[in-house]
Structure 1
Amino acid sequence: MTRQEATQRTAQRAAQRTPLNRERVLRAAVALADTTGIDALSMRRLAQELDVVPMALYKHVANKEELLDGMTDAVVGEIDPPGPGPDWRHVVRARILSARRVLLRHPWAARVIESRTGPTPAVLEYLDSTAGIFREGGLSADLTHHVMHAMGSRLLGFSQELFATPGPSEPGEASGPPDPGLAERYPYVAELAAASHDGDSAVGGGCDDQFEFEFALDLLLDGFERLRERGWTSAR
């Protein structure tokens, strides 16, 4: 037996001695989704990963939906807490970008968060904390209410893009010449596509998702601050 095999066997024995609990189940589920994708995750596959019978999992999560709720909370729990700072915009910006880094580590998480029928405890705590930053920054309850709606999923570090930007073609894949008829029918869309995907543009070939996310985030935060300064209210 090689040293690596011995180390792996020792680690496996140690894992088997570790009592199964909810935290261990969720941690293993998150790791499995990271490795295989969320569609491949099942209670049976997770039980195999933990080297237990499937029924053992149900002592800690009642079903697959409760497992996904717990995984959501585990991922949201990785987001950095609010940092110090006199400018609420910087505090919110840093926290949202932390959320985005977390979701980039767990590409399946945004889809799972959107699939929940209601916010989980960790999501509620995150939203409450973020709303508190707005309120302590001087935004009224009325403005904060509309700010939270305007931000939507961007608060958690992701957003639904209007156009999906295709990746580079595979070697040998024929993309074909652009259809001139499309540009004639939709001239402004064609103009935007040419500007956004020009290899000489500031963001290079293809849209830079991080740049676009931060661009929109900064626009929103600056706009909210201007409304706060004006004493904006939704009252008619």
Structure 2
Amino acid sequence: MNQQMEPARRTPLSRDRVLVAAVALADEVGIESLSMRRLAQELGVVPMALYKHVANKEELLDGMVDALVREIDPPARDADWKNTVRLRVLSARRALLRHPWARQVLESRTNRTPAVLEYMDSFIGMFLAGGFSVDLTHHVMHALGSRMWGFTQELFDDSASQNAEGPAALPPEAQAAMFQEMAERYPNIFKVATVSAHDDDSVVGQGCDDQFEFEFALDLLLDGFERLHQQNWTSKHAKQDHGQAGT
């Protein structure tokens, strides 16, 4: 064992090396099992050696997010703003899906590192370069929310789909009774949550296809942004129109 660890000890430890190892370890064992001690063992160093490069676990997680951001493709060249944004978002989603821990860590971050701020700045820049006003871009970013990182909070998550479709282990009579109870108590939720499971020709097949639903909502938003941009939309006029409608 000591002979196997010698090459790792001779390789200089750096922040990048620590972060690469942390990402790989989290991919393998999950973010809950990632610790400074376990990471040190993976690198063949004592835990104190890590603190020269990351001050604590929180800084390690911030660095892992930075590593994730570096995996996202830069804005596409020679493309209109709509395709540029779409490709960037889907690249972020691919990076996110490569690392099962990423969404949980992103949602937990309160610190905006330079890499994160640079990504956000670049993302805003795609709309401004497309001729969007600062006003519209502000509201666009609110509407996109976490979609800029490649994920969104799903209304019909896996547990809802499982409840609607029924556990396979239940006998047919029990499943029928559960369906009947749901249909009676929550008829509208039941209809929407089970629509794809009841349609043999559905694009998404059995249950919700997360990728399809994500792209559907993304395209819907981009189409809406395009319409507002073409109309020279401003929040001032929109608020005035809403105020007149309320009188």
Q: TM-score, normalised by structure 2?
A: 0.86
Matched residues in 1 for 2:156 and 2:168: separation?
25
From 40, 44, 51, the equivalent of 1:51 is 44
Matched residues in 2 for 1:198 and 1:46: separation?
47
Q: TM-score, normalised by structure 1?
A: 0.90
Does structure 2 conserve the Cα–Cα contact (< 8 Å) formed by 1:43 and 1:57? yes
Unaligned runs of 5+ in 1: 1-8
Unaligned runs of 5+ in 2: 240-247
Matches within 5 A, 1:32-43: 32-43=25-36
Matched residues in 1 for 2:53 and 2:191: separation?
54
Tell me what 1:164 maps to: 157
Greater percentage in helix: 2
Q: Secondary structure at the match of 2:158?
A: coil
Matched residues in 1 for 2:113 and 2:169: separation?
43
Percent identity, please.
65
Matched residues in 1 for 2:181 and 2:113: separation?
48
Does the alignment pair 1:154 with 2:147? yes
- AA in 2 matched with 1:76: V
Tell me what 1:194 maps to: 194
Q: Secondary structure at the match of 2:97?
A: helix
From 83, 86, 92, the equivalent of 1:93 is 86
Q: 1:225 to 1:172 in 2, by over 3 A?
A: closer
Q: Tell me the alpha carbon deviations over residues 92-117 of structure 1, each in whole angstroms, 9 at most, x when there is no partner.
A: 00010000000000011111011011
Matches within 5 A, 1:178-193: 178-193=178-193
Does structure 2 conserve the Cα–Cα contact (< 8 Å) formed by 1:198 and 1:204? no
Does structure 2 conserve the Cα–Cα contact (< 8 Å) formed by 1:199 and 1:206? no
Matched residues in 2 for 1:48 and 1:17: separation?
15
Q: 1:13 to 1:139 in 2, by over 3 A?
A: same
Structure 1 residue 14 displacement after superposition: 3.5
- AA in 1 matched with 2:27: D
Q: Tell me the alpha carbon deviations over residues 28-85 of structure 1, each in whole angstroms, 9 at most, x when there is no partner.
A: 0000000000000000010110111111100000000000000110111100011113
Does structure 2 conserve the Cα–Cα contact (< 8 Å) formed by 1:197 and 1:206? yes
Structure 1 residue 13 displacement after superposition: 4.3
Aligned pair count reads: 227
- AA in 2 matched with 1:183: A
Matched residues in 2 for 1:173 and 1:195: separation?
22
Q: Tell me the alpha carbon deviations over residues 108-158 of structure 1, each in whole angstroms, 9 at most, x when there is no partner.
A: 111101101132221111110010010010110000000001000000101
Does the alignment pair 1:25 with 2:18? yes
Q: Secondary structure at the match of 1:197?
A: helix
Does the alignment pair 1:60 with 2:53? yes
- Which stretch of the first structure deviates more once superposed, 127-136 or 82-91? 82-91
The alignment yields a C-alpha RMSD, in angstroms, of: 2.1
Structure 1 residue 199 displacement after superposition: 5.8
